[in-house]
Amino acid sequence: MNTQKVRKAVIPAAGLGTRFLPATKAIPKEMLPIVDVPTVQYIVEEAVSSGIEEILIITNSNKHCMENHFDKAYELEERLAESGKMDQVKMINDISNLANIYYVRQKEPKGLGHAVLCAKSFIGNDPFAVLLGDDVVINKGGKPALGQLIEAYNKHHASVVGVQTVAEDQVSKYGIVAPNKNLPADGRAVKLDNMVEKPKQKDAPSRMAVLGRYVLTPEIFELLESQGAGAGGEIQLTDAICRLIDTQAVYAYDFEGIRYDVGDKFGFIKATIDLALERPELYDQVAAYLKEISQKL
């Protein structure tokens, strides 16, 4: 039984972001701001607030600005300090001190499973978390989504995938889990029999969709190394987790929180509006504007 604590996380961020072209021609999609905070910073902050100490971001050759964002910016700090803007100095200092962040390039776009495999040397024999950058989860006043999964891992000492229920006509967009029919759910956790990547609506074993958060045991790497191409001709993490289910317990956890698919234009817009309304300095203006335009629709 693996009782090691989950202290490492992997953030796959090597995608091309084609759904946000032309912006992503020069800017990584992970750096597109929700109000004024890059998407990837929300993901890193969730990991850190969940107890993660070391983070590996899987990148490609065009994502240097993401590395710069989490690095020190001496000249900027000096200019801000000279202008007496000490709150901003603290803000950018805090970003560079969030966690120990490392980077490795995925040299070929072979899929999510291959991206996670790029982290093998970094992870070693430890359990670890995976957070997908397209999924921003906000659980205001509650435990972060990854923190909920880590609690489930600590209880069951087994891999955990984060899920939420989606509409029936949406199941073909996601990996869908098949809960074990012989074991009752343990609170928000349920043991799995299988997972299906983007099933047809009539073939979906449930409406519980995997939404960008995982805690995995290191045995997944051996399976990823031998995993053949799946949906889309890519190495799918879902397929490797299905094989993991054959050898050890894997659970799904129905995490609490509002999940935004910021890899989708409308999801990105929703996140921007909702998080702008959370800002006291913006609330009145944004709310008034929404009321104004709602009368014109």
- Looking at this protein, which amino acid is placed at residue 116? V
The structure tokens 């006291």 sit at: 280
- Give the whole-angstrom CA distance, residue 41 versus residue 191: 32
Decide: 213 and 237 in contact? Cβ < 8 Å. no
Model confidence, pTM: 0.91
* Beta strand 135-138 pairing with 54-59: unpaired
Number of C-beta neighbours around residue 120 at 10 A: 15
Superfamily, domain 8-263: Spore Coat Polysaccharide Biosynthesis Protein SpsA; Chain A (3.90.550.10)
Q: Which residues on adjacent β-strands are paired with residue 214?
A: 130, 161
Show me where the domains of the chain are located.
8-263, 265-297
- Give the whole-angstrom CA distance, residue 237 versus residue 226: 12
What's the sign of the alpha-carbon dihedral 230, 234, 33, 22?
Answer: negative
At 297, the pLDDT band (50, 70, 90 cuts) reads confident
Q: How many CA atoms lie within 13 A of 3 on its CB side?
A: 1
- Looking at this protein, which amino acid is placed at residue 108? E
Whether 271 has a pLDDT exceeding 90, the answer reads yes
Q: What is the mean pLDDT of the chain?
A: 90
What pLDDT score does 197 carry? 82
- Give the whole-angstrom CA distance, residue 13 versus residue 56: 10
pLDDT digits (tens, 9 = 90+) for 225-269: 887 777 677 788 988 999 999 999 999 999 999 999 998 999 999
pLDDT digits (tens, 9 = 90+) for 156-190: 999 999 999 898 888 888 888 988 888 877 789 99
Decide: 65 and 29 in contact? Cβ < 8 Å. no
- Looking at this protein, which amino acid is placed at residue 12? P
> Which of 29, 60, 30, 55 is closest to 44 using CA atoms?
55
- Looking at this protein, which amino acid is placed at residue 102? Y
The residue ranking higher by pLDDT, 292 or 133, is 292
pLDDT digits (tens, 9 = 90+) for 5-30: 999 999 999 888 889 889 888 889 99
Secondary structure (DSSP) of 94-138: HHHTSSEEEEEE-SS---HHHHHHTTHHHHTTS-EEEE-TTEEEE
Q: How many CA atoms lie within 13 A of 82 on its CB side?
A: 6
What pLDDT score does 157 carry? 92
- Looking at this protein, which amino acid is placed at residue 272? T
pLDDT digits (tens, 9 = 90+) for 116-128: 999 999 999 999 9
What pLDDT score does 8 carry? 96
- Give the whole-angstrom CA distance, residue 60 versus residue 109: 9
Whether 209 has a pLDDT exceeding 70, the answer reads yes
